[in-house]
Amino acid sequence: MENIRVHRPPTPRRPPTRRPPARRSPRRDSGKPPRPIPKVASDTFRRARRRRLVARRVACVLALCLVVALFSFGTLTHGASSSGRGHVRSVSPVEAAALPSPPGPPPPNMGQVWVAAVARDPSPDLATGGVGTSGIRIALTFDDGPDPRTTPLILDTLKERGVEATFFVVGRQVAENPALLRRIVAEGHAVGNHTYDHADMSGLSAGQMRDELRSTQEAVDDALGHHHPMALMRPPYGNPYLEGSAALPQFREVVRGQRLFPVAWTVDPGDYLLGDDADGVVRAVARADAAGREGESDEVVLLHDNQGQTAEALPKIVDYYEGSGRRFAGVDDLLADKYLEP
């Protein structure tokens, strides 16, 4: 028998079963507008968050106030010992850290010296005739600064050697270098007025002379942060003394009105003419000192703190004078001896 093959049709695939969508009950239309979603929970959350923000801000403000109070208390405690120093203008914290405290009258008291001087001399001065006071002391003086290149070197030497000096400052230099002026005063040196623009006083009117002197005083006060009355002045170029100018009577009247002692010199080595020759400055000091000495006489030495050769020569200049058996003094000391001694 032949094998008979029965042809069977393929079994059709069943489609995936799909769940019928859930039947939703039809919304009943009541004819009324939909009720709004209650806002009670939302408003409560907002109020709570607002309260937390306010609390945080209050806490920050209180913390800031506490920091300020602690800082103010520390400042008052630190400055209690200096509360009697007088009025000081407001300055920034950076300036305040660098400003020397307003000093009391330095010895000698130049106010007392002035009173005694004008009672005896209508035009009190020092060494304007090239003659010093009686003694064997040396007063080092520096003109035309402060200069940022060389004045610090000179101050370093003076501090290291324990020497007091007098700086006759130019007002515009003080305005440009206030920190140097503060250092000069803080280290115990006297400051004198050398006019604001290094002006030749013999060519100025009385009003212009006063302006030059007052502007320099203001520059010094601004640099220090308090009034620091200068009792000394040196006219640039030594005029009107050296030229015998007709302006001398007017000049004397102006400086007397400003309560200033004009100070000249007895030793002028011409340091500003010697370039970079520091040893030449030392030799010039020795020559000028020998030529000007007549017996035992105090000397006022003219130097310039804007000269590099002078800064370099200063240690040897100190050695020279100390080796001659003389000691250093301030210009104010010489003036006190001149006018306070009977």
Active site residues: 143, 304
Task: For residue 231, give both structure tokens.
Answer: 């009792």
Q: Which amino acid is at 163?
A: V
As a whole number of angstroms, the distance between CA 227 and CA 212 comes to 17
As a whole number of angstroms, the distance between CA 332 and CA 189 comes to 10
The structure tokens 């630190």 sit at 78
As a whole number of angstroms, the distance between CA 70 and CA 64 comes to 10
For the stretch 202-214, what's the b/e string if a residue is b when 16 or more beta carbons lie within 10 angstroms of its beta carbon? bebeeeebebbbe
As a whole number of angstroms, the distance between CA 283 and CA 297 comes to 20
Torsion region of 144: left, alpha or beta (phi above 0 gives left; psi -120 to 50 gives alpha): left
For the stretch 320-330, what's the b/e string if a residue is b when 16 or more beta carbons lie within 10 angstroms of its beta carbon? bbeeeebebbb
